[in-house]
Amino acid sequence: MAQSMWFPKLLPVTERSLLRPLLHHTTNPLLHSSTTSLRQSNLLPRRVSTAAVSPMESITVLMTCPPVHPYLVEALEKRFTLHKLDSVPDKAQFLSSHRDSIRAVVGNAAAGADAELIDQLPKLEIVSSYSVGLDKIDLAKCKEKGIRVTNTPDVLTDDVADLALGLMLAVLRRLCESDRYVRSGLWKKGDYKLTTKFSGKTVGIIGLGRIGMAIAQRAEAFSCPISYFSRSQKPGINYKYHPSVVDLAANSLGPKGVLINIGRGPHVDEAELVSALVEGRLGGAGLDVFQDEPNVPEELFKLENVVLLPHVGSGTVETRQAMADLVVGNLEAHFLNKPLLTPVV
């Protein structure tokens, strides 16, 4: 049987027990396109200039996530009065004393705006997330209170798709292990063992949105047959469609299959995934996300058929700056009473 690779919207799955969490998360498509096309269509604002200061310094913005990118922090500080919740020693006291001045929140996939925070900020008007994922934002509460929500789609596609293929190659060709083999001096004692080719392997994808399609197009260049699951069959697409995640998994995975997760850690039963890898029921895994980041199951550390990354799917200078531009651009659009660039709510 040909070895297969599976991209569950880049979420790994093996058997029905592993699928349970994923089955509840397949209706959250990501929308993406290239940074260049966005700028040409005027959706993405021009690169933020440090010399251009908007007349909004009196507007107070709360950053709920740790300062993840100096470029974003600098851009926000030049335009608004920025407070970083991560650096506040007494968060409860701070929120109480600033509850009537904070009009915007900036978060990310790890820290956004839950119902409790939203209730503490009666003047909150907008939550601008430095991420595509909105798991940490209570969207229902925002809708209830008329709070706008934006995220940063359409600029991650290439990076995430590139990384997915990179993980595939790294797992199958044992690139990380081979690197360690050379550095440790073992090559002088003999050649490294044979690995497995990537070209021609079956690739299954959950969610054929723009990221999924970008991965499929890249995999096609390696002569890989493509199959997919989505909420509905895509018109004009020649890839094999499966009506359920379980059906896709049954036709894509096996004891030699490789699973790639660059979506969300909680979408997969991590304990079952670890067991499948340790017991040999799965051929390998490439993981960029985990259930309780930055904590990673230690059982994975000693497995040479597993490649572990610290959630860097969009972690390039170019993409993170484009994301920051969208965060700032959405805030400026809101407070200037202009249409939001990437509205969610």
Q: Per-residue pLDDT for the chain (345 aa), expressed as one digit of tens each?
A: 344 555 543 333 334 455 555 544 433 333 333 444 444 445 555 555 444 445 688 999 999 999 888 999 999 999 999 999 999 999 999 999 999 999 999 999 889 999 999 999 999 999 999 998 898 999 999 999 999 999 999 899 999 999 999 999 999 999 999 999 999 999 999 999 999 999 999 999 999 998 999 999 999 999 999 999 999 999 999 999 999 999 998 888 888 999 999 988 988 899 999 999 999 999 999 999 999 999 999 999 999 999 999 999 999 999 999 999 999 999 999 999 999 999 999
* Contact in structure between 8 and 263 (CB atoms under 8 Å): yes
Nearest-10 Cα torsion for 167, 172, 177, 178: -110
Distance, in Å, from the CA atom of 104 to the CA atom of 82, rounded to the nearest integer, reads 10
What are the backbone dihedrals phi and psi of residue 37, each rounded to the nearest 5 degrees, phi first?
A: -65, -35
Give Cα 63 to chain centroid, integer Å: 19
CA dihedral 45, 316, 157, 244 (to 10 degrees): -140
The reply to whether 24 belongs to the active site is no
> Could you tell me the CA-to-CA distances from 205 to 24, 261, 275 in Å, in that order?
16, 11, 23
CB count within 10 Å of CB 222 equals 15
Do 159 and 315 form a contact (C-beta atoms < 8 A)?
Answer: yes
End-to-end CA distance of the chain: 47
Decide if 311 is catalytic. yes
**Catalytic choice (83, 264, 267, 320):** 264
Q: Residue 18 has what pLDDT?
A: 59
133 touches 154 (CB < 8 A): no
Question: Per the residue annotation, which of 116, 293, 299, 318 is the catalytic one?
Answer: 293
- The partner residues of 105 in beta bridges, in order of sequence, read 62, 127
Please indicate whether residue 264 is annotated as part of the active site. yes
